[in-house]
Structure 1
């Protein structure tokens, strides 16, 4: 039993394609719980939402938030830090939202000859790390984030997703 509270993750399926992957929600919960255990981030009582969408929904999000008019595999939307004193409602802290596109995830997994659940786990971990402050804008930050992803995925029994490009 971890010595800290795992974040609560709510998965919302908003695109029909995800019906082809009935285990997607369990895969995501397991990936995020494992990531939280490994990073041991002191999140306190925290929650996040994961929206399982399609390329059309992802294209809209990517266009509206990043100015890039095309779908992508995963987007993270960290919550703004709370301002002012903590209220007495004891509500969990919202970490933010993650969106994952079915078609792009499926196509990437197929192209890279990876099991779908392995790639989905990687995207969920990647999105979660963004929500807790990791990024890959600078090379050093990218290397640190990738190393952490590799460690988390290894704990899940998933091979290094970056191994292919190491040659």
Structure 2
């Protein structure tokens, strides 16, 4: 399997759904499904540390992408192969964004996975045109994946009574956190 999914949180997350999604997006973007992709789910503190170290921005964020071989989408004749890279996703931030967008945490994390893969493939959203292209493509990829998938995707859930790690992070770091994408 070329997509490794690791969950370092207390969230119950369907790893197979993310592995399947990663493979499907790589195939759609004409990147060999033998290429390596790692998806790591972490709590607010570790992603905040990565956010500070690599982006010089404070606080937790939703997803971070760490490209390796700088693969680009294939051109229809060529399928790119290598180490795509690593994605780090914070379910706590995803849950907050999902509530604001009025959809499920699982759907938000799947969208973030696609968003991160597109970043690994060189897409960005700095200019309005880039944003329209990237966000349109990620929406199309997610909707198509959900439409062609024949089995139910389990929701991402927290154990009953679990503390809100994002609120705890905010309280211990003086609040005022900004979410960046």
- For the superposition of Structure 1 and Structure 2, which TM-score range results when normalised by the shorter chain? 0.7 to 0.9
Is 1:65 the equivalent of 2:59? no
Is 1:46 the equivalent of 2:40? no
Any stretches of 5+ residues in structure 1 without a counterpart? 1-6, 83-91, 159-167
Q: Which residue of 2 aligns with 1:22?
A: 13
Deviation, 1:138, is: 2.0
* Equivalences for residues 2-151 of structure 1 within 5 A: 8-16=2-10, 18=11, 21-23=12-14, 25-41=15-31, 43=32, 45-81=34-70, 93-151=82-140
Instruction: State the distance in 1 between where 2:103 and 2:88 align.
Output: 20
Instruction: State the distance in 2 between where 1:67 and 1:15 align.
Output: 24
Q: Normalising by the residue count of structure 2, what TM-score does the alignment of the two structures yield? A: 0.69
Q: Structure 1 residues 103-112 or 93-102, which shifts more?
A: 103-112
Given that 2:22 and 2:37 are in contact with CA atoms closer than 8 Å, whether structure 1 keeps it comes out as no
Q: Normalising by the residue count of structure 1, what TM-score does the alignment of the two structures yield? A: 0.74
Any stretches of 5+ residues in structure 2 without a counterpart? 72-80, 148-181
Instruction: State the distance in 2 between where 1:116 and 1:26 align.
Output: 16
Deviation, 1:80, is: 4.5
Given that 2:48 and 2:59 are in contact with CA atoms closer than 8 Å, whether structure 1 keeps it comes out as yes
Q: How many residues align?
A: 138
Instruction: State the distance in 1 between where 2:34 and 2:146 align.
Output: 27
Runs of 4+ in 1 over 4 A off after TM superposition: none
Given that 1:59 and 1:70 are in contact with CA atoms closer than 8 Å, whether structure 2 keeps it comes out as yes
